[in-house]
């Protein structure tokens, strides 16, 4: 049963509602401290969710070459797979590979780019960036920023 009494300027709430409000406020306070704020502007965030397409052999070859170049220069791990449909880096593992100190770095960015055929010589390039401390956690550089920069470079050839 819910009992609401208003006396002067105070609102008194008893029962389940008070419990639910308290749980909600505690959860909101805890979760707001867990996520890193995005360094992307609203326009950059909108661009980040916009699909990336190529059409025709020439454009797709150019964009795929740029994707490979971006991943090679910006990911925190070496490329594990690079073929006509997939570019993928190694990822955080223990024990890490000899000679790659970054394999033990939970903030280093791992990436993959996938070229999915849509028919008629058109492809969608899907990409992802993350780190062992979480996609929106403490990646260095930030995963969402890395994906936005990758899309810009793949599409336009500039960072």
Q: What share of the chain is helix, strand, coil (3-state, %, to 5)?
A: 40, 25, 35
Q: What is the pLDDT along the chain (159 residues), one digit of tens a residue?
A: 444 444 444 344 455 554 544 444 344 333 333 344 567 899 999 999 999 999 999 999 999 999 999 999 998 888 999 999 999 998 776 545 555 544 556 778 899 999 999 999 999 999 999 887 654 457 878 889 999 999 999 999 987
Q: What angle do CA 82, 87, 93 make, to 5 degrees?
A: 100
Residue 107 lies in a domain: yes
* Total domains, the chain: 1
Residue with tokens 């025709």: 56
- Collapse the DSSP code of 68 into the 3-class scheme (helix H, G, I; strand E, B; otherwise coil) and give the result: helix
Can you give the pLDDT at residue 141?
A: 83
Structural domain boundaries enclosing 83: 42-156
Residue 15 lies in a domain: no
CATH of the domain at 152: 3.30.310
Residue 37 lies in a domain: no
- Collapse the DSSP code of 66 into the 3-class scheme (helix H, G, I; strand E, B; otherwise coil) and give the result: helix
Can you give the pLDDT at residue 131?
A: 83
Residue 17 lies in a domain: no
Residue 36 lies in a domain: no
Residue 21 lies in a domain: no
Residue 35 lies in a domain: no
pTM for the model:
0.69
């Amino acid at each position: 049963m819910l009992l609401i009494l208003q006396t002067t300027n105070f609102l008194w709430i008893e029962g389940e509602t008070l419990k639910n409000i308290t749980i909600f406020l505690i959860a909101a306070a805890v979760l707001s401290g867990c996520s890193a704020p995005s360094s992307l502007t609203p326009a950059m965030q909108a661009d980040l969710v916009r699909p990336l397409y190529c059409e025709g052999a020439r454009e797709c070859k150019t964009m795929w070459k740029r994707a490979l170049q971006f991943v090679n220069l910006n990911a925190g791990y070496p490329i594990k797979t690079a073929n006509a449909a997939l570019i993928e880096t190694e990822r955080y593992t223990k024990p890490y590979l000899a000679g790659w100190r970054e394999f033990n770095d939970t903030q280093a960015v791992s990436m993959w780019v996938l070229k999915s055929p849509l028919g008629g010589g058109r492809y969608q390039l899907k990409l992802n960036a993350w780190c062992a401390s979480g996609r929106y956690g403490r990646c260095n550089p930030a995963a969402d920023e890395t994906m936005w920069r990758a899309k810009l470079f793949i599409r336009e050839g500039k960072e």
